[in-house]
Copies of this chain bind each other. A is one copy, B any other.
Amino acid sequence: MLDDRNKQVLLAIIDSYINKPEPVGSRFVQKRYSFNFSPATIRNIMADLEDLGFLNQPHASAGRIPTDKGYRFYVDSLLDNNASFGQDNDLCDQINRFSVKMESIRNNVDEMFLEVSHTLSTISNYIGIAFPPRHEKMTLNKIDLIRYKSSQVAAILITDEGVIKNRMLTVDPRLTQNDLNRITDYLNSEYSGCYIDEIKGDLLKKLSHEKILWDQMIEKAIRICEDAISFAADDFFISGLYDAMNLPDFSDISRLKEIARAIKDKHLIFNLLHDLADTGGIQVLIGNENQAQEFRNLSIVASTYKEGDRPMGVIAIIGPTRMNYPRAICMVDNIARCISDTLKRTSP
């Protein structure tokens, strides 16, 4: 589609624009990237690239800036030859420091992922987002019911990953502590070690198979357990709006409002990133590749961390479409790996 020379020029222009958000002129490109053909030739190439939709001209006598399609081309060619990653010493240092920090707080999942979102944003200067492991993807270690008041019971659920979830349930006040103990014994023997989402499925199946004669206590146990594992949507951490304010991309107030609006609604981000959770690997969404209107001028670089082969959760950064993609991708990728490693060491 693009011959090699056009490709080189396109990548050069995008590289330049990523480093300095100013329309890139033909003369500048020729000198800065030492092309051995003249600015006039580059102008011709630029005109072609504009016709193809890779570049844009803010006004008739300005240089060119990349379009979303241009960025997409750039990112794809980055991902093709990923040899270029990890040469940034400063970045490596910061990721190493992060790794040490993670080790020291690995017994507190919330603290860990707060730190992740923090690190993502401070290293990148964009917005950092970190989803703790989705509870459906974790395995049940133990469930416990603690009577609180006559008709209220605290359901405590501990996963093998060491995450504690709790919830207050309203129950039949006639249930004795003894009953509660029998219920938890049953649930633990039945479901310990199972994935939460599998438990959910199993419970639904059991409840729908009405033919089976129920031990009344077991039915109660199942209904309680169903309540107990129905937590609110996973919460997640997001940080760095303040730092992002200092980017030249958001120096004008309407752009700033755009990004603030985009991250204001946690549901929106949740839906956007939740879908990525099962896919795994680095994923880049550029500008209007995002479904949500609010993200039309923003890019997302996301990855999943895993336990073994199972994707557990998502981390991401959100920034302007004029993002330093090589750095962002390298960073998100490495931090995701780092989380996977920490989780692995936590398990045994």
Interface residues of A (CB under 8 A from B): 107-108, 111, 141-142, 144, 146, 148, 152, 154, 156, 158, 162, 164, 166, 168, 170, 232, 241-242, 245-246, 251-253, 256-257, 260-261, 264
With beta carbons under 8 angstroms apart, the residue of B141, B154, B170, B257 that contacts A156 is: B154
> A141-B148, A242-B260 in contact; A158/B162 too (CB < 8 A)?
no
Nearest B residue to A162 via CB reads B168
Chain B residues closer than 8 Å to A253, beta-carbon distance = 245, 251-253, 256
Q: How far is the CB of A252 from chain B (nearest CB, A)?
A: 7
With beta carbons under 8 angstroms apart, the residue of B154, B164, B242, B246 that contacts A158 is: B154
Number of copies: 2
With beta carbons under 8 angstroms apart, the residue of B154, B164, B256 that contacts A168 is: B164
Chain B residues closer than 8 Å to A260, beta-carbon distance = 241-242, 245
User: Is there contact, CB below 8 Å, between B264 and A242?
Assistant: yes
Chain B residues closer than 8 Å to A158, beta-carbon distance = 146, 148, 154
Q: How far is the CB of A292 from chain B (nearest CB, A)?
A: 15
Chain B residues closer than 8 Å to A154, beta-carbon distance = 156, 158, 164
Q: Measured between alpha carbons, how far is A246 from B260 in the docked complex, in Å?
A: 11
User: Is there contact, CB below 8 Å, between A107 and B168?
Assistant: yes
Q: How far is the CB of A77 from chain B (nearest CB, A)?
A: 35
Q: A107-B168, A154-B156, A164-B166 are in contact. List 5 more A-B contacts (CB 8 A).
A: A144-B144, A154-B158, A242-B261, A246-B257, A253-B253
